[in-house]
Amino acid sequence: MERRLDDNKKKGVWRSLDWWTILIYLALLAFGWISICGASYDFDMGGNIFDFDSRSGMQIVWIGTSLALGFILLMLDDKLYDTFAYVFYIILLVALFITPFLAHDIKGSHSWIKIGPFSFQSAEFAKCATALALAKFMSTYGYNIGRAKDFLITLGIIVVPIVLIILQRETGSALVYLAFFLVLYREGMPGCVLFAGVSAVIYFVVGIRYEQTMLGYIPTSVGEFLVLLMVILFTAGMVRAYCGKTPVTRHILLYGLGIVTIALGFSALVIPFDIKWVLVSVCAAMILYLCYVALRERIMRYFYISLFALGSIGFFYSTDYVLNHTLEPHQRIRIYVLLGLTDDPSGAGYNVNQAKIAIGSGGLLGKGFLNGTQTKLKYVPEQDTDFIFCTVGEEEGFWGAAGVLVLFLILILRLIHLAERQPFAFGRIYGYCVMSVFLFHVFINVGMVLGLTPVIGIPLPFFSYGGSSLWGFTILLFIFLCIDARRNLARKD
Amino acid sequence: MANYDWEKRKYVIGAVATAIVLLYIVRLFTLQIMSDDYKKNADSNAFLKKVQYPSRGVITDRHGKLLVYNQPSYDIMVVMNEQKGVDTLDLCASLGITKEDYVRRMEEIKDRRRNPGYSNYTQQLFMSQLSSEEFCVFQEKLFRFPGFYVQRRSIRQYEVPCAALVLGDLGEVSPADIEEDDYYQNGDFIGKSGVERAYEKQLRGEKGTQILLRDARGRIKGRYMEGKLDTRPVPGKNLTLGLDRDLQALGERLMEGKLGSIVAIEPATGEILCMVSAPSYDPRILAGRNRGKHHVRMSADPMKPLLNRAIMGQYPPGSTFKTTQALTFLQEGIITPETAFPCHHGFIYRGLKVGCHGHPSPAKLVPAIGTSCNAYFCWGLYYMFGNRTKYKDVQEAMTRWKDYMVSMGFGYKLGVDLPGERRGLIPNAPFYDKAYRGSWNGLTVISISIGQGEVNATPLQIANLGATIANRGYFVTPHVVKQIQGEALDTLYTRRRYTMVEPRHYETVVEGMRRAVLSGTCRKANLPGIEVCGKTGTAQNRGHDHSVFMGFAPMNNPKIAIAVYVENGGWGADYGVPLGALMMEQYLNGKLSPESEKKAEEFQKRHINYGTEAR
């Protein structure tokens, strides 16, 4: 009886395994390998792309071992992950903690542990452990994200690895953990928290990035102008979303934007003056107006929204103040580097510019396999790791690059679908964690290459060269596939 | 606990993911398909179109003797980030420059304003066009100077130090040259004067290109598509000139210390056998590194060594012009060979006097040419311009006269294959109408009949007149280039251009010119064994007279026609005749006799003092 169940279980695993995801995974691996070939190929050396001395040859080793790893993970019992989730988490935290002490300095980062000829990046594996721990904790009976204690512990599970990784000087990898907030959102965290968080990030990035640029002849910084404009728009949007159809939205948009437009026109055409004061006044008027509406209608939501607006402005100016007055210059530079502002000493945005040239030169159909000139002649920095998407764009053209993006989208949507079909919260939460990590990586990495997001050095899953990241993503994905494949088997425990 | 409202959030998350991907695809679309700039950017990034320079055509004289060829020269290149730790003193010593030169040059290279293409990683020009000798010293020590490289180029080299103005020189292209012909790019060399300029298109050949791949640091990483798209350079065509190298050399020797010109033409073909313009210079000084310096110096020289007087100098042709008058009067029927005019030490009529030297009077045409009688030709012109049965007024006579002159190659550019030719001056009726407000007659303009007054001609035109008479009535446009490798000459240089005068009248003039050599003004040109025909000229001008000679030899089946023009040389017989005789002897015999050689040496040393006034 026991034996037959075991047999059934094995057969069932193969039958209920999600082959679609496996197929997409294999396709991305193949595409990724082709890109590595393109990126590391040297016109001078010619050379065999299968040579193990070359990066393309080594990547074959990583791909092979990843496939073996995936197979092993599928064979393991899914109960294992559930049971040992915290153990994995603790082990990885310890590993993250000791890494800086063992690690060699590679480009100022202390995140690599050397074992024999191979180097490992513990942060890549910690993602998976954190996801398991999150899933385990959030699926405990009686968990309520609205309860402060539960929420704080959840937050703690996410924040602790972030802090440890920041200590390794790998801010980029640390930021990936922010993706888990998407999971929290799915599990009941109020949407406004996520929205406020996202808004804060946008204010911060836009505010700093365009701090020095002036708005044409108008002596107002573009960063400040955009942020204050966004405050008005977001506030109006929240009124519409949380208070239903009221004329309040219209009033804010009409009068607020009207006044801003008039000020803009006056400053641009008649007398240039700093229109930031106009925007600040409009925001202040808007906040007062919302408070007045809250008192008149006796609806507290207007009041909360006015707090959002006030908080937004406060946040923006306080970060501005902190950045410019309290931080040491080297700390400020670190933030600028993270945002890709001081990446290039000449300030021309060399990396992103070259990345755009490489992609742009690909055209519709691309230059063909191994025929890309920009990537191979090393115009694009980090072309086989963080900027690998350039190679796709240059050699495979628009169709190839768009195809890769669509493949990733299908993978992400598929993962959402798989997560939602889990019978237990553990599987679902873990599934969302996996999906969020992929989404974040694709969002930041491709966005950076296309010049849309800050330059944060994180790899493109299955494309960027490197064993650690490939193994990390494979483990992340296959644990979920393993859980998913066993979703219908009766649990005796 | 499960809240089914929360399940709907999967749509929000899915929508966010979809929105991001869509946004990125739109971005890809704008980068890759909407804009072409990135592609161009990428090409200029990655492709280095390296120009392969063809070798310039070689120039030889009419006997195949080398005149101009290419000699390797060497550019010293430096790669800045590799040249650390070089012993600069040693380097300066082996290149023959001072430490200050070195420091200044290095700063110039690094100055991005003056050297926009500067890169730390690529070869920058440190010193250009070193000769083989200069380079030899450096090459031995090259291994001690890491970061310094040598690039081979070629510069023009000259076998003999003559014919500089005919051959011309090369210089770097000007912005105007580039605008005119997009074949050129900055730093290319182009013919600036002489044959080098006139035959630039044939000599230069065709550049080839090699498409190289260049990496982000400017280093060359191999050839694009294994060189499939490369083009090989096509070497320039070789030119054979009509010039006789030895004749040219003799001419330049004889003209030392004088101003003026000697032009010799092979009458049958119009090939220019020599074209001397004095003063001249050694063509080697305008090739290579010091070109600029010498060019500036010569441009400022009041004696104008850069002016090719043979085609740019416009002089009164003097008595050599009387031959054209004789031909015109004969053809127009104003005179016959038997017509005689009186000459009492000149043409004296109605208070006008044009002087002449003593000779038997009256004289018929042949002796008149032989003794160069001024009066004879003044009378001829007077009768022609005064002939109201043939011409309704003086204007019509003048126009007729002018047409004759033009048909003989005067008044307009002959069309020689050298740049900068001047047209000379043959006045026409409107010219005098304007000058004399319509009130003029043959007497007013009488001096044009003896090659004075308003008439101006280049030495080439005078030599061409000799060729026309030698040919008895036609000439082939004079040209320097006899043959272009693999290309036919322009028909302009093969076609005969007939004058308006019949050959039989030429015979009379030839007889007169022969008489001049035998018993007239050109006796010094009487070469043993060669029937020389000649005509002297003593062109009056503000200062000392110019000494002119025009002639050809042998009388029958002529091989050479020549014009000698020595500024302020005095009588035609002083310089013109003896120089012309030496030149003809050299060409026809291939060498000078010992006596002639002595005479040549004497003339070489006889310098004329021109003072310092600009000319």
Neighbours of B73 (CB within 10 A): 22
* Average pLDDT score over residue span B276-288: 90
- Strands B208-214, A218-221: pairing is unpaired
Contact A44 B222 (CB under 8 A): yes
Q: Which residues, other chains included, contact B125 with Cβ-Cβ below 8 Å and sequence gap of 6+?
A: B75, B76, B77, B109
**Contact A186/B17, CB-based, under 8 Å?**
no
Find the residue in B nearest to A445 (Cα): B24
Angstrom distance (rounded) from CA A383 to CA A465: 9
Mutation test of the interface with chain A: which of B12, B24, B49, choosing the one with the most A Cβ atoms within 10 A? B24
Task: Note which residues in 335-374 of chain A have CB less than 8 A from chain B.
Answer: 354, 356-364, 373-374
What does the alpha-carbon distance between residue B465 and residue A454 come to, in Å, rounded to a whole number? Answer: 84
Q: What is the pLDDT of residues B23-50, one digit of tens each?
A: 999 999 988 888 777 777 777 667 777 7
Domains of chain B: 49-65+159-241 (3.90.1310.10), 72-155 (3.90.1310.10), 245-281+308-605 (3.40.710.10)
Q: How confident is the model at residue A1 (pLDDT cuts 50, 70, 90)?
A: very low
When CB atoms are compared, the residue of A142, A187, A373 closest to B6 is: A187
Q: How high is the pLDDT of residue B1? A: 42
pLDDT at A493: 43
Q: Is the pLDDT of residue A343 over 90?
A: no
Q: Tell me the pLDDT band of A106, cut-offs 50, 70 and 90.
A: low
- A209 confidence band (pLDDT: 50, 70, 90): confident
Q: Cα–Cα distance between B260 and B437 in angstroms, integer?
A: 36
Res. A62: pLDDT tops 80? yes
**Chain A, nearest residue to B215 by Cα:** A377
Nearest residue of chain B to residue A380 (CA atoms): B216
Q: Which one of A182, A198, A353, A361 would you mutate to disrupt binding with B, by most B Cβ within 10 Å of its Cβ?
A: A361
How far does B274 lie from chain A, in Å, by closest CA?
56
| Burial of B490 per CB tally in 10 Å (0-12, 13-18, 19+) | middle
Per the CB < 8 Å rule, is B216 touching A450?
A: no
Q: Give the tokens for residue B26.
A: 């739109």
Numbered residues of chain B with Cβ closer than 8 Å to any chain A Cβ: 1, 3, 6-7, 9-10, 12-14, 16-18, 20-21, 23-25, 27-29, 31-33, 35, 37-39, 41-43, 45-47, 213-217, 221-222
d(CA B36, nearest CA chain A) in Å = 8
- Interacting residues of B168 by C-beta distance below 8 A, sequence separation 6+: B191, B192, B193, B194, B195, B196, B197, B198, B418
Confidence band, pLDDT 50/70/90 cuts, at residue B466: very high
Query: E-strand spans in A299-340?
Result: none
Check whether B2 has a pLDDT greater than 60. no
B488-537 per-position pLDDT tens digit: 989 999 999 999 999 999 999 999 999 999 988 888 888 888 999 999 99
CB pair distance less than 8 Å for B28 and A393: yes
Residue A466 pLDDT: 83
Contacts with B229 from chain A: Cβ below 8 Å = none
Count of CB pairs separated by less than 8 Å, A with B:
130
Nearest residue on chain B to A140, judged by CA atoms?
B1
Contact (CB, 8 A) for B575 and B564: yes
Contact A364 B32 (CB under 8 A): yes
The residues in A 168-207 lying below 8 A from B, measured between CB atoms, are: 182, 185-188, 191
Q: Taking CA B293 as the corner, what is the angle to CA B289 and CA B298, rounded to the nearest 5 degrees?
A: 130
One-letter identity of residue B582? L
Q: Which two tokens stand for residue A351?
A: 């990396």
pTM of the model: 0.62
Cβ contacts of A142 on chain B, cutoff 8 Å: 1
3-state secondary structure (DSSP) of residue B190: strand
Pick the residue with more confidence: B68 or A213?
A: B68
pLDDT band at B473 (very low <50, low <70, confident <90, very high): very high
Picking from A294, A295, A303, A225, the residue whose alpha carbon sits closest to that of residue A260 is A225
Give the tens place of pLDDT for each residue, A254-291: 998 899 899 888 888 888 888 888 889 999 999 999 99
Instruction: Please give the share of chain B, as a percent, with pLDDT higher than 70.
Output: 95
Average pLDDT over residues B320-324: 94
A347 confidence band (pLDDT: 50, 70, 90): very low
**Yes or no, beta carbons of B28 and A379 under 8 Å apart:** no
Query: Does residue A492 surpass a pLDDT of 50?
Result: no
Run of H or E including B346: strand B346-349
DSSP characters for A54-91?
A: SHHHHHHHHHHHHHHHHHHHHHS-THHHHHHHHHHHHH
CB B409 within 8 A of CB B344: no
The shortest C-alpha distance from A77 to chain B (Å) reads 26
